[in-house]
Amino acid sequence: MKVEFDYYNSHYRHVNVNFDIDRYRQIVFHEHGDILRKDQRILDVGCGTGFLLQALELEGYEHLWGVELDESQYRQAGRQLRHAKLAHGDAFEFLRSSGEKFDVIFFYDLIEHIAKNEIVPLLRLAYESLEAGGALIVKTPNADFPFAASRMRYIDFTHEVMFNEESMKMVLRQAGFEEITCRPTRRPPGHGRFPAALLRATANLFPRFFLFAHFGPSALRWILTPNFITVARKQTPGSSP
């Protein structure tokens, strides 16, 4: 028997009680200020309650689209967004039928919710929906995160899969992307107090040593933040990989 899952009321609104849109806006532009421009056509797939789109609206962005399957989140997004064009429905169907081309597509906290056999098809649709030179931006929990990757995997009942840098690049290449960059999430200046930042830097020394002992020098390059960011660009015609 299939049960309709009310994601917003069973989970999302309980883990974002003290959400600060102004702080989130700082984080978004610290993460992606080198990519985003106000003339771009931007799509947020799985836009949830619209926080990412709201952050862009507050910065004066106008060419915005969002698609969300969960009805409660879609309605909440509609209440707080002014300009973004919202669609209530399945991401696959939207990307197949919208006829739009985008400069930037966000998969923020999305891909880990997709069934394994559907991930590459969804990424291919994103590739086809990008303008040449456009960017797909993926944020997802990090399977290499020391000691707590399992918490990131199981904190949400609807998580289906988890990625590290290697597996993320694998599925993106299969979908047609060739220019792929993975990196840690970035904390903007002032995010957290100085002792906390120092504590994190010190605490990271032990897992680095542990991983180096077991996996060798390559482990020193692994991304060890709780989430990580991937930027995959669609090549322009005639460019080389």
Q: Is the pLDDT of residue 215 over 50?
A: yes
How far is the C-alpha of 222 from the C-alpha of 164, rounded, in Å?
9
Mapping DSSP onto H, E and C, the string for the chain reads: CCCCCCHHHHHHHHHCCCCCHHHHHHHHHHHHCCCCCCCCCEEEECCCCCHHHHHHHHCCCCCEEEEECCHHHHHHHHHHCCCCEEEECCHHHHHHHCCCCEEEEEEECCHHHCCHHHHHHHHHHHHHHEEEEEEEEEEEEECCCCCCHHHHHHCCCCCCCCECHHHHHHHHHHCCCCEEEEEECCCCCCCCCHHHHHHHHHHCHHHHHHHHHHHCHHHHHCCCCCEEEEEEECCCCCCCC
Share of residues in the chain with pLDDT > 70 (%): 93
Q: Is the pLDDT of residue 199 over 90?
A: no
With beta carbons less than 8 A apart as the criterion, state whether 108 and 32 touch: no
Q: Is the pLDDT of residue 188 over 80?
A: no
Q: Is the pLDDT of residue 191 over 80?
A: no
Q: Is the pLDDT of residue 58 over 80?
A: yes
Average pLDDT, the chain: 90
Q: Is the pLDDT of residue 66 over 60?
A: yes
For residue 133, what pLDDT is reported?
96
For residue 1, what pLDDT is reported?
46
pTM of the complete model = 0.90
How far is the C-alpha of 113 from the C-alpha of 148, rounded, in Å?
19
pLDDT band at 7 (very low <50, low <70, confident <90, very high): confident
Q: Is the pLDDT of residue 28 over 90?
A: yes
Q: Is the pLDDT of residue 218 over 90?
A: no
How far is the C-alpha of 175 from the C-alpha of 172, rounded, in Å?
5
Region 150-158: what's the mean pLDDT?
Answer: 93
Which residue ranges form the domains of the chain, and what is each CATH number? Answer: 7-193+226-233 (3.40.50.150)
Task: Choose between 10 and 200: higher pLDDT.
Answer: 10
Q: Is the pLDDT of residue 2 over 70?
A: no
Quick: pLDDT tens for 100-153: 999 999 999 999 999 999 999 999 999 999 999 999 999 999 999 988 899 999
With beta carbons less than 8 A apart as the criterion, state whether 66 and 53 touch: yes
With beta carbons less than 8 A apart as the criterion, state whether 31 and 185 touch: yes
- Give the number of other CB atoms < 10 A from CB of residue 190: 9
